Structure 1
């Protein structure tokens, strides 16, 4: 709900801070790596909103772009995902002009319902959808999977003006970087497994078998994996793109007090492989949002996506043409799951190398304890995927 009789030009001061003469009960929700805080505040009329300053850098307006360009597409779905409505946004005048010029049709469709301001700093105000419970339970993951299957059906012609890459390099680049330094990959995998094993032994913990050092990864299996990485990368990269949320860690989805699943922060939405959203939700690690995953739950979630998308022939014929066209490349769920496992293995190994680099940085991006936990989780997920791939889809 947009408040009335409000001088929006005074809501945020030139330094980017909320005007405390107009607002009350300001609560910091979190502070990003850029040092700016997202805040819940209340106006004099009693209504609550969320204030989010835009971070520095070239991508600072991606969240506004998502609201103007992506959210109208979501509203056309049979069951659109729930997300906080954009109430107002602001940026320096010249940047607003550039932003609007790049997406005139989208802006014309939605801007009349929003307050748009020229302001020295960039920011947005959204509705307050209440305190969310951020969980990574199987029931929550199933709800997100169902919604994801919907937004992946957005028609291809809408995707041409969206960014074509997200926060991580696209699959061909990630794969090439691994294949070019495969000896380092092997060394890092063994080093991390041994390090985790030693840490657990020192703590007198029972070390999970999934994270044991990798004697079962023979030279033959590594050669087969190299071959299949190249093969899978070519196959997946050739498939049509879908609309991606792009950043599905547990902090970006949650259940509100009314029990509704809310999907937050679409600023990293882009066009790409549907496996990215699946991997981000199921297997990609995050220092602040650890999760537990098993081979059985992973298989169940992938099968749920397969069915929810229509590939499992489980929805009405009238909807059968809405499922992502990329899935038509797979004759069976087994083929689809095999490519997901390879995709997850590729990016998990890539993440292990990235985390190793983060651990060497001074000062570190995240505390070492969080990075080490993220490393162990990534190693576990990678080995789960590798074990299933090896057992279920042995190399020819």
Structure 2
């Protein structure tokens, strides 16, 4: 591998080998597969200028507690370099990012493991992920009520009830303890391999609610990675999480946990709908309009389902 990467942090065009662009991140950096010879290939990930070192931190501090879950980190740029930072990973080969319940269940069992890690021993304090916190989303909805009321009219959901959920989300952020979070578990960031579930792209690792990672797996929509969720599957996967979490700590109040999840998911989905609408109005948007329309429909359906589940759970609790 000597000579593969230049001193300024780029793939050396004179090194040889076959290069394949895998994706370009929102930071404008393109991740590439580099085939050196049959049976020898790597994934090269350049970092944005001023480079996000959180992924390298996760490999150093978190990976030892989660053996087999991370792709191996082969090499990385030195800290404090003047050029562009980079990471070089093992190549897991072609990965399928199609959603299915079995893969989601395997992933959720691992989520329970990293949620149980003692965050104090890592020294991580950041609660900043790739999106605002659920409290910040709730506050934005509270201040921009006229933007989301039309969505609720489609479901015949009372405006006062949504105000109540927004208030609960604000209280949830103030009162809930935080856990170590991957931060960006959309469907493109995990896959089932011959060696089991693998989780990619830990650059947004931070502290957050337990519901953050779960929402990303169950109800976050993405323009490039569509999925279909239904109430039965969602409840089974939430139960899977609670079963797995009990292996690492005391039992949870399952009814309360599920109720809080539906509050979290409803507020996050409603906030996401407004973001999608803004993206649709932009002429220079990152995502194709047809993909955003599909994302909008998926998000609406997830919101409808979670509001309905919240009603059912509230009725059962009162009974």
Structure-2 change in CA distance of 1:159 and 1:185 (3 Å): farther
Q: Which residue of the partner structure matches residue 236 of structure 2?
A: 300
**2:217 maps to 1:273:** no
Q: Cα distance, 1:267 vs. partner? A: 0.7
CA distance in 2, matches of 1:381, 1:234: 23
1:50 corresponds, among 37, 43, 46, to: 43
Render the CA deviation track for 1:30-88: whole Å, top value 9, x for unaligned. 222344321111336962111111123x56333223223332xxx235xx452111111
1:349 corresponds, among 260, 270, 278, to: 270
Q: Cα distance, 1:126 vs. partner? A: 1.0
Q: Cα distance, 1:130 vs. partner? A: 2.2
State the superposition RMSD in angstroms. 2.3
**2:291 maps to 1:370:** yes
CA distance in 1, matches of 2:118, 2:237: 24
2:20 corresponds, among 20, 23, 27, to: 27
Structure 2-normalised TM-score?
0.91
Q: Which residue of the partner structure matches residue 93 of structure 2?
A: 130
Q: Note the residue ranges of structure 2 that are not aligned, 5 or more in a row.
A: none
Structure 1-normalised TM-score?
0.74
CA distance in 1, matches of 2:301, 2:122: 34
Contact 1:28 1:39 in 2 (8 A): yes
Runs of 4+ in 1 over 6 A off after TM superposition: none
Contact 2:34 2:41 in 1 (8 A): yes
CA distance in 2, matches of 1:125, 1:59: 14
Structure-2 change in CA distance of 1:189 and 1:59 (3 Å): farther
CA distance in 1, matches of 2:196, 2:82: 34
CA distance in 2, matches of 1:166, 1:184: 24
Contact 1:14 1:119 in 2 (8 A): no
Q: Which residue of the partner structure matches residue 217 of structure 1?
A: 157
Structure-2 change in CA distance of 1:163 and 1:384 (3 Å): same
Alignment of 1:267-346 (within 5 A): 267-310=203-246, 315=247, 322-323=248-249, 330=252, 332-346=253-267
Render the CA deviation track for 1:291-338: whole Å, top value 9, x for unaligned. 00001111111011011111xxxx5xxxxxx33x7xx6x5x3111100
Q: Cα distance, 1:254 vs. partner? A: 0.6
Contact 2:127 2:206 in 1 (8 A): yes
CA distance in 1, matches of 2:235, 2:297: 21
Structure-2 change in CA distance of 1:172 and 1:21 (3 Å): same
Using the TM superposition, name which of 118-127 and 279-288 deviates more: 118-127
Q: Which residue of the partner structure matches residue 358 of structure 1?
A: 279
Q: What is the number of residues matched between the two proteins? A: 317
CA distance in 2, matches of 1:45, 1:381: 44
Q: Cα distance, 1:20 vs. partner? A: 3.6
**2:6 maps to 1:13:** yes
CA distance in 2, matches of 1:346, 1:167: 17
Contact 1:81 1:147 in 2 (8 A): no
SS for the counterpart of 2:77 is strand
